[in-house]
Chains A and B, each alone.
Chain A
Amino acid sequence: MGTAFLHQVSNVGAHERRLFELSGLSEGRSGSSRRPVVIAELYRAFREEGRTLVEILWEQHRFHEARRWNAVELVESVRPEHLTELDRLVVWSAGQAEMTAKPSADRMTRLADAECRRWQGKDDALASVIQALGSWSRYWNEEESHHEMGFTQLSLQLGFPPPSDATVIDYRKIFPDDDLLRTVAMLSFSEGIAAVNYGQYARHVREPALKALLKNVGADEVQHMQYFISFSKALVDSGAYPAKEAFAVAHLFLREGGELYGSAREHVESRNTHTNWWDHLGDGAGEAAVTPEALERKRSLILHALKRITGISCATPQEVEDLWMDLVGE
């Protein structure tokens, strides 16, 4: 029985490859030469252009397929002896941080499903937007899995002790529910911050495979940010979710001592509900994440995202606070 099982496992790769070739999932065989995109005007697509969920979900799928990369191959091609001490710390820290992506995505899926059903019959275009968000979260979750598996396995190869089962289970605590726009806006900002972190690390790493791994992960985070901006904008465009919620989250990140500063903050909140990845970056990684250049890039990305989501432009964190306070009223 053991031999039969091993025989099956050894043939899985060949079978899978054959099935993939036959299925014709790649863009070149889909019959369309149009490049897949993140749809920027999602509420309008449903409301005014009469797009259907099947069309939108296919676009999501094409985009996902077109961007896939192989974490196993990249991790196996890293040469550990060429890594510096900081490279090693970054890999370990990234693995820890990525472990919290799954509970974040699980929360998103659950929240989107509840909100979608709340809007059915009241604003069907909005219900479809939110269903598109919930459906897309499966690709997001899968891509984050590439990151977690890649960095965690690489840190084991580098000699770091494996996280205990208790640690993994603790890091998997599902995030508490919140307003949908706040949640999606927060995710767009945190993906932008993650992208900058990976970009910063990638510039300093010399080992080619680790550099490629960091760049691939960073590019994924940029795409996730684009998607979250698109969904957030659609929520605001619908008129059902007030822009002040996106401003509130931007302010939470940008204010002095805000979330933007991650584990480098003087006081990092102690939580028993869930684990925020940016609160737990290790020493070397935490410092690299708050260099002046990194902070400037992160601020710029958040301000850009806020403008795309709400249509309101702010040049500084102070302007964000002022506008948010105006929107909040008394």
Chain B
Amino acid sequence: MADTGELKAYIQKKFCENVGLPAEEVFGPDLTLAAIISRSERMTNSVDLMESFARTANALRKDHGIRIRLPALALDTPISKVLEVFLQEVERSQGRAA
């Protein structure tokens, strides 16, 4: 089973691949979801953002066997908070599986 640090890096990597932005541009300044949408050429609105979350969650399920529920967050939420929610979901999912 992957440790939290490894999973955190994996989630960051997959999310950034999906939105088409480098990790340092997203997580470095801790962008809000609204700022990510406006900077990403692949996204026009929050539906695209939801899809990026879904793709990240699907990759997590495929590569690590972890199934999580998607967060519903306001557009002024910073990406660090999103990551935290993802990791809480991972923890919840692993706790249930144990």
Contact = CB atoms under 8 A, between A and B. Distances in A.
A176 to B, nearest CB: 7
Given A267-B74, A325-B57, A328-B54, A176 B62 contact: no
A255 B44 contact: no
Contacts of A328: 51, 54-55, 58
B9 interface: no
Given A256-B72, A269-B74, A321-B70, A330 B50 contact: no
A248 B70 contact: no
B47 A182 contact: yes
A248 B45 contact: no
B75 interface: yes
A182 B44 CA distance: 12
Contacts of A248: 47, 50-51
B37 to A, nearest CB: 11
B70 A330 contact: no
A231 interface: no
Contacts of A182: 47
A330 B62 CA distance: 9
Nearest to B69: A321
A143 to B, nearest CB: 27
Interface string B14-26: 0000000000000
A74 B55 CA distance: 51
A248 B46 CA distance: 10
Query: Chain B interface: which size bin?
Result: 10 to 19
A249 B45 CA distance: 12
Contacts, number: 43
Interface residues of A, number: 22
Query: Quick one: which of A248, A251, A270, A328 has the most chain B CB within 10 A?
Result: A328
A329 interface: yes
Contacts of B47: 178, 182, 245, 248-249, 252
Contact of A252 (B50, B57, B74): B50
Interface in B43-98: 44-47, 50-51, 54-55, 57-59, 62, 69-70, 72, 74-76
Contacts of B45: 176, 178
Nearest to A249: B47
B11 to A, nearest CB: 13
Interface in A62-121: none
A257 B50 CA distance: 14
Contacts of A321: 69-70
Contact of A255 (B51, B72, B74, B75): B72
A240 to B, nearest CB: 18
A329 B57 CA distance: 10
A255 B70 contact: yes
B74 A330 contact: no
Contacts of B72: 255-258
Nearest to A186: B47
Interface string A117-149: 000000000000000000000000000000000
Interface of B: 44-47, 50-51, 54-55, 57-59, 62, 69-70, 72, 74-76
Interface of A: 176-178, 182, 245, 248-249, 251-252, 255-258, 267, 269-270, 321, 324-325, 328-330
